[in-house]
Amino acid sequence: MAQSIRDTKSSIKVAALQHRFYGSREETIAYIRQEVLRLAGSVELIALQELHQSAYFCQYESVDLFDLAESFEADIALFSDLAKQAGVVLVTSLFEKRAKGLYHNTAVVFERDGSIAGKYRKMHIPDDPSFYEKFYFTPGDLGFTPIQTSVGKLGVLVCWDQWYPEAARIMALKGADLLIYPTAIGFTPSDSDEEKSRQLQAWQIIQRAHSVANALPLIAINRVGFELDSSGVGEGIEFFGHSFISGAQGEILAQAQSEQASLVCEIDLNRTQDVRRIWPFLRDRRIESYAEILQRFCD
């Protein structure tokens, strides 16, 4: 297991790759590889967006699309080698074939030597128009457990997980130094400008609130570009980007817009301790009074 340098190094340099799908797995991976190697030597951690090497295939249901997970073992080898070449901790998001007929939306974290530091399987699975993920993904069974790496304990969660404060809080209670959310979220063409604004603001607010409530820095990485629903049923999705990195008080440290971009930022991990001393939310939790949170609804 990787040993954390958290106690001896107060800050880390991180990058988040926000990009479009290039039309094929090969071309998209070529772009990722180019960017990771370009950033090598200047950053210690690189985080990639959700399902970064394919189109967002969950816009419709097709058994043929399970074939995309057949490359999972090859992907592990590919990104292991890339992490080792670049000498970075690499956070990836892959379509995992766990067994015949059993699939997950899985974040795999690689150490700088190419070894696997840990995995997180997406827990909250959406099933909404254009986001039919329940058809493809089994809910995760690894729990909310930070992944120990050489740059600290990473609280890696995936996309829909970002709307649930419980997930971020459990990661914080288990000692996460940094929250990371690979994401694929966007608008449909029929959304009004007002609705687009509301959705984007809500997406940013909920995650910045996790930073505030837990005094943790956070990386949210979204994709960009319009992707057609090739079934012809849906409208397609315009992925809105706006990836960002926030500090321990929810402040924006770096933010992209709706174009392709690689965010680079330095994060001071020691600020968590400083912020928790002035905002001692963990101290004041009334844990004996929260039993109702385990119910679906309090009728």
Per-residue pLDDT tens digits for 136-161: 999 999 999 999 999 999 999 999 99
Q: Is 219 left (phi over 0), alpha (psi -120 to 50) or beta?
A: beta
How far apart CA 68 and CA 50 sit, in angstroms, is: 14
Model pTM score:
0.96
Ordered by start, the domain boundaries in the chain are 11-280
Q: Which of 119, 122, 133, 265 is catalytic?
A: 122
Would you say 33 and 25 are in contact if contact means Cβ atoms under 8 Å apart?
A: no
Between the alpha carbon of residue 196 and those of residues 184, 186, 192, 222, 239, the distances in Å are 15, 9, 6, 15, 11
Q: How confident is the model at residue 298 (pLDDT cuts 50, 70, 90)?
A: very high
Q: Which of 35, 44, 50, 227 is catalytic?
A: 50
Q: Is 122 annotated in the active site?
A: yes
Q: Is 50 annotated in the active site?
A: yes
Per residue in 205-260, pLDDT (tens digit) is 999 999 999 999 999 999 999 999 999 999 999 999 999 999 999 999 999 999 99
Would you say 263 and 233 are in contact if contact means Cβ atoms under 8 Å apart?
A: no
* CATH number of the structural domain 11-280: 3.60.110.10
Q: Which of 96, 159, 227, 265 is catalytic?
A: 159
How far apart CA 268 and CA 190 sit, in angstroms, is: 41
Alpha helices in the chain, H assignment, sequence order: 25-39, 72-86, 165-173, 193-214, 271-278
